[in-house]
């Protein structure tokens, strides 16, 4: 058969050229400068996208899309697809930061504590993104073929120490608390956590929540447990003993470049074209306003226009969405000139009149309900179909 070369590690070294390290492990690692880029084993190939352009299951992980323009926020959605949650009011708030971000990024989510708060057992403070089940079906979680994933992100804090978070299923009854360490205060650091896929638990592969990814800002003992293992303890959001950001007045915590991918290696962040990323976000939230305009602003630019007829005196044609929604959304309507919520602008007398949408589906709303016939109306809208 001739000579055979058994190579476990093939390393394109930056100083010594090609280096081969051999054994009989049955696994091959492809390295560049000593860093593993791809691994081939009996379980398959890791370290490369499952399919081109979609390796990251997190949407808007670079915090670049901010349709709502919410400003400082204690609870709710800040940048698209990322929400803030807290059990106690006035303990801190999150904003979008663009001035101080890692290289190759333009935005970050920043949380600032406003008080030195002592966490109670049932308290929780967190940042989360819920990943749609349709986007994690190939992970095969809950089966013997469950795929290992790696969560990576850039983080910066005024505090140092061990921080925590968790991955959870939609029922909150199968959870994986994890930790990461911030070594230097006020310094951007890249972190990664590799998690063996669960072979048990119920993991939705529908348009419901597939995986709920949590970053803890302070978590009570009720929702904390030992890091590094899957558990059926209900509702976990962090690891026991993790640093509490809300425990120090004025403490800051920032994150960007969030990525969840198949495999054991944290690869470079997947930068999508802006339009592609916006469309992914619009499956969950869409607005008629210009991207830089906060909903509720008095602005006619881009407003929808519709006309009612005498044949349908209390209805006028509605809207079609740019992107099919995850599910029939909750919609809000705004006066197309003044921005008044719950109203549209009636052209004939410049009146602000109460208006609602009807027959709302994943692709649009069939009608608006208005008080008079044979008139023109201007309005803006938002459509939210978040998990």
On whether the CB atoms of residues 194 and 150 are closer than 8 A, the answer is yes
User: Do the two domains 76-273 and 286-384 of this chain adopt the same fold?
Assistant: no
pLDDT reported for residue 78? 96
Which string of DSSP letters, residue by residue, matches 217-243?
Answer: EEE-GGGEE-SSS-B--TT--EETT--
Q: What are the tokens at 6?
A: 């058994």
Please give the DSSP secondary-structure letter assigned to residue 28.
Answer: E
Q: How far apart are CA 253 and CA 95, in angstroms?
A: 11
Q: How far apart are CA 285 and CA 326, in angstroms?
A: 9
pLDDT reported for residue 49? 44
pLDDT reported for residue 291? 94
Q: How far apart are CA 66 and CA 278, in angstroms?
A: 9
Q: How far apart are CA 64 and CA 79, in angstroms?
A: 8
On whether the CB atoms of residues 157 and 195 are closer than 8 A, the answer is no
Alpha helices, DSSP H, located in the chain: 274-282
Q: How far apart are CA 339 and CA 299, in angstroms?
A: 7
For 139-160, the pLDDT digits (tens) are 999 999 999 999 999 999 999 9
Residues 6+ apart with CB under 8 A from 292: 69
Rounded to 5°, the CA angle 143-146-151 comes to: 140
What is the residue-level pLDDT of the chain in tens, covering all 387 positions? 445 555 678 777 777 766 777 777 778 887 877 777 778 877 667 665 444 457 999 999 999 999 999 899 999 999 999 999 999 999 999 999 999 999 999 999 999 999 999 999 999 999 999 999 999 999 999 999 999 999 999 999 999 999 999 999 999 999 999 999 999 999 999 999 999 999 999 999 999 999 999 999 999 999 999 999 999 999 999 999 999 999 999 999 999 999 999 999 999 999 999 999 999 999 999 999 999 999 999 999 999 999 887 665 688 899 999 999 999 999 999 999 999 999 999 999 999 999 999 999 999 999 999 887 778 999 999 999 999
Q: Please report, in angstroms and rounded to a whole number, the separation of the first and last CA atoms in the chain.
A: 58
Q: Is the pTM of this model over 0.75?
A: yes
Q: How far apart are CA 10 and CA 220, in angstroms?
A: 46
- Name the 3-class secondary structure at 209: strand
Torsion of CA 212, 215, 218, 221, to 10 degrees: 50
Is CATH 3.40.50.12160 the right assignment for the domain spanning 76-273? no
Q: How far apart are CA 67 and CA 283, in angstroms?
A: 12
Q: How far apart are CA 119 and CA 220, in angstroms?
A: 6
Q: How far apart are CA 275 and CA 102, in angstroms?
A: 22
pLDDT reported for residue 34? 77
For 81-95, the pLDDT digits (tens) are 999 999 999 999 999
Rounded to 5°, the CA angle 238-241-242 comes to: 55
Sequence spans of domains, the chain: 9-42, 76-273, 286-384
pLDDT reported for residue 1? 44
Topology given in CATH for the domain delimited by 286-384: Immunoglobulin-like (2.60.40)
């Amino acid at each position: 058969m001739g000579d055979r070369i058994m190579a476990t590690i093939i390393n394109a070294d930056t100083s010594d050229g090609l280096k081969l390290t051999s054994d009989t492990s049955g696994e091959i690692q492809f390295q560049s400068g000593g860093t593993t880029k791809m691994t081939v084993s009996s379980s398959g190939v890791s370290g490369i996208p499952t399919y081109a352009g979609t390796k990251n299951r997190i949407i808007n992980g670079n915090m670049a899309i901010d349709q709502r323009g919410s400003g400082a926020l204690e609870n709710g959605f800040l940048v698209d697809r990322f929400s803030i949650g807290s059990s106690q009011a006035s303990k801190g708030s999150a904003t979008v930061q663009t001035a101080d971000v890692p290289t190759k990024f333009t935005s970050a989510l920043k949380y600032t504590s406003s008080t030195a708060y002592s966490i109670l057992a049932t308290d929780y403070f967190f940042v989360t993104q819920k990943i749609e089940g349709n986007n994690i079906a190939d992970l095969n979680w809950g089966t013997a073929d469950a795929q290992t994933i790696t969560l990576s992100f850039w983080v910066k804090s005024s505090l140092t120490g061990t921080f925590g978070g968790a991955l959870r299923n939609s029922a909150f009854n199968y959870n994986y608390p994890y930790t990461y360490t911030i070594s230097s205060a006020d310094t951007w650091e890249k972190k990664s956590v590799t998690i063996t896929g669960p072979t048990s638990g119920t993991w939705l592969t529908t348009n419901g929540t597939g995986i709920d990814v949590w970053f803890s800002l302070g978590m009570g003992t009720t929702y904390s447990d030992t890091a590094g293992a899957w558990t059926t303890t209900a509702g976990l959001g962090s690891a026991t003993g993790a640093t509490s950001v809300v425990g120090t007045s004025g403490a800051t915590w920032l994150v960007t470049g969030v990525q969840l991918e198949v495999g054991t290696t944290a690869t470079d962040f997947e930068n999508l074209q802006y339009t592609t990323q916006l469309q992914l976000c619009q499956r969950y939230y869409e607005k008629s306003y210009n991207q830089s305009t906060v909903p509720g602003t008095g602005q006619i630019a881009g407003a929808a226009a519709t006309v009612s007829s005498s044949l349908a005196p209390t209805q006028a044609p509605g809207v079609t969405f740019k992107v099919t929604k995850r599910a029939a959304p909750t919609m809000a309507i705004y006066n197309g000139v003044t921005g008044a919520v719950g109203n549209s602008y009636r052209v004939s007398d410049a009146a602000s009149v109460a208006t609602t949408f009807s027959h709302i589906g994943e692709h649009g709303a069939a009608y608006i309900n208005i008080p008079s016939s044979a008139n023109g109306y201007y309005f803006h809208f938002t459509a939210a179909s978040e998990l």
